[in-house]
Amino acid sequence: MRSRDGNHSFTFSISTVITLFLLLSSALTADEYLISYRYTVKDATIYNETLYVSRAMKKCHGKPYAMLTLDPHNANDLKKILLKNKEEFTNFLYKIGLNIAHKEVTNNSVNHSSTILTLKTTCFKVDFNDNSVRIAPLK
pLDDT in tens, 82-106: 999 999 999 999 899 889 999 999 9
pLDDT category at 125 given cuts 50, 70, 90 is very high
Enumerate long-range contacts of 38-41, CB under 8 Å, 24 or more apart. Answer: 38/116, 38/117, 38/118, 38/119, 39/90, 39/116, 39/117, 39/118, 40/114, 40/115, 40/116, 40/117, 41/114, 41/115, 41/116
**Three-state SS for 71?**
coil
In angstroms, rounded to a whole number, what is the distance separating the alpha carbons of residues 31 and 77?
A: 12
Q: What pTM value is reported for the model?
A: 0.70
As a dihedral over the C-alpha atoms of residue 56, residue 51, residue 87, residue 138, rounded to 10 degrees, the angle is: 30
119 close to 98: Cβ distance less than 8 angstroms: yes
Tell me what pLDDT residue 32 has.
93
1 close to 87: Cβ distance less than 8 angstroms: no
Residue 10 is given by DSSP the state: -
